[in-house]
Amino acid sequence: MGWQQFVSGIREKHQQRKADKAATRAREQELQAAIEHVVEEINPQIRALGSYRKKLRPCVARTLAHCSDLVTRVPGAVDVNRKSWGRDPMVKAFFSRVDEMRGVFSRSKEVREYFDQHADAEYCYVLLSMERKERTVLGMGMQDEVLRRDVKQTSVSFTDHRVVKPSSSESELRNNLVQRAFDNLIGYALEQITELVAARHSLEEQRRLLEMQLKVARLRHKSLIPLVGDNDSESIDINALRERQEHTGQALDQARARLTTLEDYLDRITELLGDPQTHLRLAPVSLRLNQMNIKLDEQSAESGQTLELTEATLGEDLKRILLIARFPRNDMLYDSS
């Protein structure tokens, strides 16, 4: 190895170390900014705890990594336009008409603003999400080798179309979607904490009401009413109220133990963000549909297309089909008035 090669190798290693340090600093700054974002959105008073950054660091890092992993698992961009509606079974399944498809994108404020601000852009990349619904209908079909009109079938429809994060490229969109997924998990954590607060307040109200009802029952028991009424029913009422009061008190103690102090808030955040894969998930969905969006089983002789879809689930109930779409400016609908 010559002297020049030796010096060049040293310089390259030095530059690589500098680049590695810069990347490490950038990741650290991103993580710190994410921690502050979580605190600001859920409860800024948590900053009064000196240890909040240290405690949130592992779970926020885990959540960011999970969001990044989810976004990489969303399939590549699909052209959504007038031509693809006629030739792509997936696009046609999502929209019943071409104008419906164009209207979904054209009504989006984000998409309109994107094209207004990017005069030279022919396309934008967006995340298209929608709700998948299935319902039982009666239609024509073969049953026992006989064509019948009252065969139960499953109709699949896609509704509540939403488009977000218009971007100039698929890579830019994916970067934006990582932040959106992170915000969704923060919102979910805030929702769960809010429900805990609401449940505690509800239990406090129930306990106050039971205390008043118990006082009334005791006064009735001591008054002249028992002399002309049923003593057994009065005692049963008091005993039942006492039992309900005891159960409510126990439930209230448990609710208060979970969320009273700022430390409790911090514990709930780390609990929820520490296990992000439980709350925000992606799953493949395979559907075989005919041209009328009727679900076909694998044994059906009827012609159909198999669609490989991606469904996101947040919490227990919210489910959305996701698609990265490339939509052209030329398909925008503009108000002629």
Question: pLDDT truncated to tens, each residue of the chain (337 aa)?
Answer: 566 675 566 677 767 677 667 666 888 899 999 999 999 999 999 999 989 999 999 999 999 999 999 999 999 999 999 999 999 999 999 999 999 999 999 999 999 999 999 999 999 999 999 999 999 888 766 555 656 667 788 899 999 999 999 999 999 999 999 999 999 999 999 998 888 877 776 667 776 776 777 776 666 666 655 544 555 444 547 777 677 767 766 665 665 556 678 888 899 899 999 999 999 999 999 999 988 888 988 777 778 899 999 999 999 889 999 999 999 999 999 764 4
**Same domain for 171 and 115:** yes
Domain termination residue (choose one: 58, 75, 92): 75
- Rounded to whole angstroms, the Cα distance separating 207 from 201 reads 10
**Same domain for 10 and 146:** no
What the block records as the tokens of 277 is: 């894969």
**Same domain for 300 and 241:** no
Tell me the pTM.
0.78
**Same domain for 221 and 170:** no
**Same domain for 213 and 129:** no
Question: Which is it for the CA torsion 137, 142, 144, 148, positive or negative?
Answer: positive
Asked whether residue 182 is assigned to any structural domain, the reply reads no
What the block records as the tokens of 151 is: 């065969």
Q: Which residues contact 299 (CB under 8 A, 6 or more apart)?
A: none
**Same domain for 46 and 194:** no
Domain termination residue (choose one: 258, 273, 288): 273
Task: Report the number of distinct structural domains present in the chain.
Answer: 3
Q: Are 126 and 141 in contact (CB under 8 A)?
A: no
Q: The tokens 């319902």 sit on which residue?
A: 135
**Same domain for 239 and 222:** yes
Asked whether residue 58 is assigned to any structural domain, the reply reads yes
Tell me the residue range of the domain where 216 lies: 188-273
Asked whether residue 117 is assigned to any structural domain, the reply reads yes
